[in-house]
Amino acid sequence: MNIQPLFDYIKPLMDLTAEEEALLASKVTYRKYLKGQYVVQQGDICKYECFVISGCTKTFYLDTEGQEHVIMFAIENWWTADMGSFISQTPADYNVQCLENTELILFSYENLELLYKKIPKLERLFRQIVERAFVASQKRIVRNFSLSAKDRYLYFKNQYPQIEERIPQYLVASFLGITKEFLSKIKSQLATEN
């Protein structure tokens, strides 16, 4: 159990005393998942907000034809969950599955509420974290409208080279909202351009 990366992540955002860190550590769960395991399943209630210590997850949903659509990836120092399901404790719309062996820190709904009570400044911390997530989400909406598939791919490649390297191309295509065949075409175009 190595929770230190979480504290390293929090440090620049907010100072916690040793006692606060200890309390936090006592109210979260460290868990290892194997490649392929599900952290959240569509239809279940999302029980945890998850901080990624190591590994990689994808969040996706299955449409009415059973097609998979990737919404996001999460790697070291990112958060993942179905937040809609978590905050209202209603069935999840999305699945979160591990693409590699993955270590997570799990915040259960009850323990997170308890932590908010005992360490009120965590409300501030999580407010700030969600604010950033919201801003990033809105920017992604704008990119999806205003960039071509090629430019969306180039943006992804530049912003998240660590992700592109470690996941199959058809999942990148799904994340970008295009077919794997079209991504393949884009990449061969880019290759001949240079």
Partner DNA sequence: ACATCATGTTAAACTAGATTAACATCATTT
Partner DNA sequence: AAATGATGTTAATCTAGTTTAACATGATGT
Residues that bind a second copy (CB under 8 A): 61, 63, 69, 71, 83-84, 87, 93, 116, 120-121, 123-124, 126-128, 130-135, 137-142, 144-146, 177
Would you say 133 or 154 has its CB closer to a second copy?
133
Would you say 162 or 169 has its CB closer to DNA?
169
- Cβ 19 to DNA, closest distance in Å? 45
Among DNA, a second copy, none, partner that 132 touches (CB below 5 to 8 angstroms by kind)? a second copy
- Cβ 57 to a second copy, closest distance in Å? 15
Would you say 15 or 165 has its CB closer to a second copy?
15
The CA distance from 124 to 31, in Å, is 26
Among a second copy, DNA, none, partner that 83 touches (CB below 5 to 8 angstroms by kind)? a second copy
Residue with tokens 């200890």: 22
Q: Which residues of 112-142 are buried (b: 16+ CB within 10 A; e: fewer)?
A: beebeeebeebeeebeeeeeeeeeeeeeeee
Residue with tokens 């979480």: 6
- Cβ 103 to DNA, closest distance in Å? 20
Among DNA, a second copy, none, partner that 18 touches (CB below 5 to 8 angstroms by kind)? none
Would you say 22 or 135 has its CB closer to a second copy?
135
Q: Which stretches does DSSP call E strand in the chain?
A: 29-33, 38-40, 48-54, 57-62, 68-74, 79-80, 95-98, 102-108
Token digits for 181?
A: 């065949």
Q: Which amino acid appears at position 177 of this protein?
A: G
Among DNA, a second copy, none, partner that 168 touches (CB below 5 to 8 angstroms by kind)? DNA
User: What residues make contact with DNA under the rule CB under 7 A?
Assistant: 148-150, 168-170, 177-185, 187-188
CA dihedral 165, 186, 67, 63 (to 10 degrees): 100
Would you say 86 or 153 has its CB closer to DNA?
153
φ and ψ at residue 83, rounded to 5 degrees: -60, -35
